[in-house]
Amino acid sequence: MQRRSARRQAELAAVWMLPFDGPSYVDTPCEPIDPAVVAPMIEGAAQSQKVETKLLRAVIDQESGFHPCAISSKGAKGLMQLMPQTASQFSVRNPFDPRENIEAGSRYLKQLIDRYSGDLALALAAYNAGPARVDESGGVPDIPETRDYVESVLEKFRAKDPPPPKTPVPKPVKN
């Protein structure tokens, strides 16, 4: 039911303009996916592709803000904003299905990381602007959106996790 609803919302969604200095979504017609629901999907994809979980989370946060029905002005869809060609390349039947989207997006990201010998900046630039532009420029292309994207994802990826909440030590009860 949730998939049907997300698909319907995505079909009804208008194409919106991307903010230049923020995530690649605006006023998505669906709620962000529950962290408890998406966490095992991200962890599973990260393990199977040998990509850091935190990197996948950073990409998803930047790409869609965890909105499974997000659609960019260029036609990228879902949590990891798969372009139609990429979705087809990885046999994605429904780009709005969170599991399918994350699995395909993580496989694509892993391919890019391998292609650029582990250079995350280049891999992320290729994820955003396409490998052809990265190859043509010999580095991160001089495209403000791409430079901002790479910087933002790397910042999220490198940010320290917040410390766990401190559990108060109970005071001894005096009788």
pLDDT digits (tens, 9 = 90+) for 33-91: 999 999 999 999 999 999 999 999 999 999 999 999 999 999 999 999 999 999 999 99
Per-residue tokens: 24 = 């690649």
Where in the sequence is the domain holding 104, given as residue range(s)? 2-22+30-158
pTM over 0.85: no
Active site residues: 63
Q: Tens digits of per-residue pLDDT, 100-131?
A: 999 999 999 999 999 999 999 999 999 999 99
Proportion of the chain in helix, strand, coil states, percent, rounded to 5: 55, 0, 45
Q: Has residue 99 got a pLDDT over 50?
A: yes
Does residue 167 lie within any of the structural domains? no
Does residue 171 lie within any of the structural domains? no
* CATH number assigned to the domain comprising residue 48: 1.10.530.10
Q: Containing H/E element for 120?
A: helix 120-129
85-123 in b/e form (b: 16+ CB < 10 A) is ebbeebebebbbbbbbbbbbbbbbbbbbbeebeebbbbb
Does residue 172 lie within any of the structural domains? no
Does residue 92 lie within any of the structural domains? yes
d(CA 116, CA 135): 10
For residue 162, name the pLDDT band (cuts at 50, 70, 90).
low
Q: Which of 58, 61, 62, 56 is nearest to 40 (CA)?
A: 56
Q: What is the number of domains present in the chain? A: 1
Does residue 164 lie within any of the structural domains? no
For residue 3, name the pLDDT band (cuts at 50, 70, 90).
low
Q: Compute, in degrees rounded to 10, the torsion defined by CA atoms 80, 85, 86, 87.
A: 70
